[in-house]
Chain A
Amino acid sequence: MREDVLYYIPLGGTAALAAVTALIASIGFLRTRNFRFDSLARAATETLLAFLAAGIVSGCFVIHSASGRWWTWDARLTAALVCWLLFATCLMLRQAVEEPSRRAAFAAVWTVFACLDVPLVVATAAWWKPGKALPIEWTWGRFGLLAAIAVVGGLFTVVRARQEEARRELDSRRRKAFES
């Protein structure tokens, strides 16, 4: 089985779906200020980071088994690493803002910025390190693998979003109790 079909595409594809989810949720928050969108955006960002990290790490193992080196600056790995940094800074930004409404608004704005950058990063990496991507023959098995990993990512996102909702509810109750 080709390693890129086994690892990169399902993991990277799930990360891409998570990025789209984060983008839509962030725009949703900016328009409605409904914190459910913020919870979804945060959860999707975490899913994206987890799956992209898994893709990068598996990529390192693939490179190592082929060439003995742990890293190469090819277009895919470079783009994946930069995209991972883009969204990691979104989470860092959340940690640095105390007030919940501002935190959600800032994270939403930066997620929009990061998502706009993704196609530019991918194109730039491809120009910088042009390589010939092997054509992929899509079979039902390969679709199934992609779908299975995407479903796992989706479940992870939903669970994290609900955890975020619960944490916010707890926070609010703690504040009310403190006041009275």
Chain B
Amino acid sequence: MGFFRQAGVIAAKDLRAELRTKEAINSSLAFALVILLMFSFAFDPLADTTREISGGLLWIVFAFAGTLVLNRSFARELPNDCLDGLIAAPVSGAALFLGKACASFLLVLGVQLVSLPVFGVFYNVPWTRQFPELLLVLVLGTWGLTVVGTISSALTVNIRLRELMLPMLTYPILFPALLGAMQLTAGLVAGNPIGPDEYGWLKMMVGFDVIYTAVSLALVETILVG
């Protein structure tokens, strides 16, 4: 069976299991809404200064809520030693990783697309004005978050303090991608297109995604098998 078909089988399995239980999605969505609410208490949502930092606030929400989905990525294989079944199967670690990353990506993106209109209402920002470009930034930033989060999930699945270690490992690595996403999103949610002096951020996000996808695919077998 081809590499991408195997990854597809793994992704479909994860999505089916998650959509049936909705454990990660529900908690992630609820958490996203709670953080948005709390930010509204901390900062006056309608003040101009708050609108300036709204892009950054949005990605803080996405990063925290996304972690709840990413934590489940390999953790869902722990009950019944399902990870052993996958490692014993003729599936490369890279295909397993890619399948799980794709499933997590779709789930996290789904949570973000639900949170975005709520954010738009609370902060009264014209987020639909540059929606295609905003979607591009969401996709690039979320793929970076997903790749690093999924490899962290593989690393932390069998160690102590898993729920604490995953965000501790993920967020510092994500600094370049998150900062780029925040910089771009701030302008886009205010209704401004991406300017030529911001193309560097886009390139950096693409570079980050490519590098970390490649390195994760190369090293995941070492993490799973040793």
Chain B residues closer than 8 Å to A121, beta-carbon distance: 175-176
Secondary structure at the A interface, as helix, strand, loop or mixed, is helix
B130-170 at interface with A (beta carbon < 8 Å) = 148, 151, 155-156, 159-161, 165, 168-169
Q: Contact size class for A? A: 20 to 34
**The one of A30, A85, A106, A120 that contacts B204, using a Cβ cutoff of 8 Å:** A120
B side interface size, CB within 8 A = 29
Q: Is there an interface contact between A124 and B204, defined as CB atoms closer than 8 Å? A: yes
A89-125 at interface with B (beta carbon < 8 Å) = 89, 92-93, 96-98, 101-102, 105-106, 109-110, 112-114, 116-117, 120-121, 123-124
Q: Is the CB of B222 closer than 8 A to any CB of chain A?
A: yes
Q: Is there an interface contact between A128 and B183, defined as CB atoms closer than 8 Å? A: yes
**Whole-angstrom distance from the CB of B101 to the nearest CB of chain A?**
15
Q: Is there an interface contact between A92 and B165, defined as CB atoms closer than 8 Å? A: yes
Secondary structure at the B interface, as helix, strand, loop or mixed, is helix
Q: Known contacts being A124-B175, A127-B200, is A105 close to B222, with CB within 8 Å?
A: yes
Chain A residues closer than 8 Å to B34, beta-carbon distance: none
Q: Is there an interface contact between A89 and B172, defined as CB atoms closer than 8 Å? A: yes
Chain B residues closer than 8 Å to A30, beta-carbon distance: 219, 222
B208-225 at interface with A (beta carbon < 8 Å) = 208, 211-212, 215, 219, 222-223
Chain B residues closer than 8 Å to A110, beta-carbon distance: 155, 169
Q: Is there an interface contact between A112 and B175, defined as CB atoms closer than 8 Å? A: no
Q: Is the CB of A149 closer than 8 A to any CB of chain B?
A: no
Q: Is the CB of B110 closer than 8 A to any CB of chain A?
A: no
**Whole-angstrom distance from the CB of B220 to the nearest CB of chain A?**
9
Q: Is the CB of A16 closer than 8 A to any CB of chain B?
A: no
Contact digits for B191-208, partner A, Cβ 8 Å, 1 yes 0 no: 000000000110010011
Q: Is the CB of B226 closer than 8 A to any CB of chain A?
A: yes
Q: Is there an interface contact between A124 and B223, defined as CB atoms closer than 8 Å? A: no
Q: Is there an interface contact between A96 and B165, defined as CB atoms closer than 8 Å? A: yes
Q: Is there an interface contact between B222 and A117, defined as CB atoms closer than 8 Å? A: no
**Whole-angstrom distance from the CB of B193 to the nearest CB of chain A?**
19
Q: Is the CB of B66 closer than 8 A to any CB of chain A?
A: no
CA distance A98 to B159 in the complex (A): 8
Chain B residues closer than 8 Å to A93, beta-carbon distance: 155, 159, 165, 169
Q: Is there an interface contact between A86 and B173, defined as CB atoms closer than 8 Å? A: yes
Q: Which 8 A-B pairs have the closest CB atoms?
A: A120-B176, A85-B172, A124-B176, A96-B159, A86-B172, A96-B160, A82-B175, A109-B219
Interface on B for A, CB 8 Å cutoff?
Answer: 148, 151, 155-156, 159-161, 165, 168-169, 172-173, 175-176, 179-180, 183, 200-201, 204, 207-208, 211-212, 215, 219, 222-223, 226
Interface on A for B, CB 8 Å cutoff?
Answer: 30, 82, 85-86, 89, 92-93, 96-98, 101-102, 105-106, 109-110, 112-114, 116-117, 120-121, 123-124, 127-128
